[in-house]
């Protein structure tokens, strides 16, 4: 048990070290939102630490590492490309304004240390699944398919939004085409699917002994819906953009579903 705890703590050391280095960079750049680019690297990096340090490397562990790396590389590159040259994200600007003076120091624990711990918790399925020695089965296949679906769904949603924002005719308009017609946040839905899929793979290997790792998809889903995702992005958007308020009235926030008909006045 102590050996397993050492491996788990090595994952925490990875997320903490990367978050600390990103904090240093944020002081230079005056941009705390740099942590968003490193968030997927923190998570999958911890998973790769587990894979390397565990005494046995299994085929399941390799597949989880590949799936996690595919998710992380795509998301890291996309966020970096999207935010390049735009300065600090509006959400972090609001956090900065609420925590003056000395936000630079305060951000170490308010933003970076917090996200290091959260990333470590989210990496739980990697540890549970990579340490398991059960033969691969149907649940592995189901989990892998769900994870791949989530990565694909998220990537398509991000690509559609990027094309929409790049079109001059879209200025001031609300994106409600493609996947965005059926859910206001296809990227978040895909993200949640990826982590529930990875958890199913972990469960296939560890059985109920790995059920504790459900903390990962539960935490990720909660963050996406109630903290840094839907709740934060849409907190005041209806006041700033009336057209988006109408979009909210007819489109699901998270789970894809049919467009609701507008109610008669």
pLDDT tens, 210-263? Answer: 999 999 999 999 999 988 778 777 776 756 677 888 888 899 999 999 988 765
Residue 265: predicted pLDDT:
47
Look at the block and give the residue holding tokens 């390049």: 84
DSSP for residue 134: S
pLDDT greater at residue 50 or residue 169: 50
Rounded to the nearest integer, the mean pLDDT of the chain is 92
Give the Cβ contact number of residue 256 at 10 Å: 15
pLDDT tens, position by position, 201-215:
999 999 888 999 999
pLDDT the model gives residue 236: 65
Closest CA to 60 of 9, 134, 110, 121: 134
Model pTM score: 0.92
Q: In whole angstroms, how far apart are CA 171 and each of 74, 85, 146, 155, 165?
A: 26, 19, 34, 22, 7
Please report, for the chain, the start and end positions of each structural domain, with discontinuous segments joined by +. Answer: 2-250
Q: What is the pLDDT of residues 143-186, one digit of tens each?
A: 999 999 999 999 999 999 999 999 998 888 899 999 999 999 99
Which pLDDT score is estimated for 133? 82
What's the mean pLDDT in 50-65?
Answer: 95
């Amino acid at each position: 048990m102590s050996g397993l705890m050492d491996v788990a703590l090595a994952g925490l050391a990875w997320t903490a070290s990367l978050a600390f280095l990103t904090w240093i960079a944020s002081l230079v750049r005056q941009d705390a939102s740099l942590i968003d680019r490193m968030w997927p690297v923190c998570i999958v990096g911890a998973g790769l630490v587990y894979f390397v340090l565990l005494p046995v490397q299994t085929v399941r562990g390799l597949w989880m590492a590949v799936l996690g790396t595919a998710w992380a590389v795509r998301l890291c590159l996309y966020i970096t490309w999207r935010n390049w040259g735009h300065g600090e994200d509006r959400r972090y600007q609001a956090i900065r304004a609420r925590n003056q003076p000395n936000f630079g120091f305060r951000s170490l624990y308010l933003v970076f240390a917090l996200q290091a711990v959260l990333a470590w918790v989210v990496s739980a399925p990697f540890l549970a699944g990579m340490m398991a020695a059960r033969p691969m089965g149907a649940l592995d296949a189901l989990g892998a398919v769900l994870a791949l679906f989530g990565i694909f769904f998220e990537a398509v949603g991000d690509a559609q939004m990027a094309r929409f924002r790049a079109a001059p005719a879209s200025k001031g308009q609300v994106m409600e085409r493609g996947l965005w017609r059926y859910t206001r946040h296809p990227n978040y839905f895909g993200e949640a699917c990826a982590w529930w899929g990875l958890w199913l793979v972990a469960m296939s290997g560890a059985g109920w002994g790995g059920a504790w790792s459900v903390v990962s998809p539960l935490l990720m889903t909660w963050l996406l819906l109630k903290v840094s995702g839907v709740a934060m992005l849409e907190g005041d958007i209806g006041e700033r953009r009336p057209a988006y308020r109408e979009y909210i009235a007819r489109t699901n926030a998270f789970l894809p579903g049919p467009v609701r008909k507008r109610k008669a006045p």
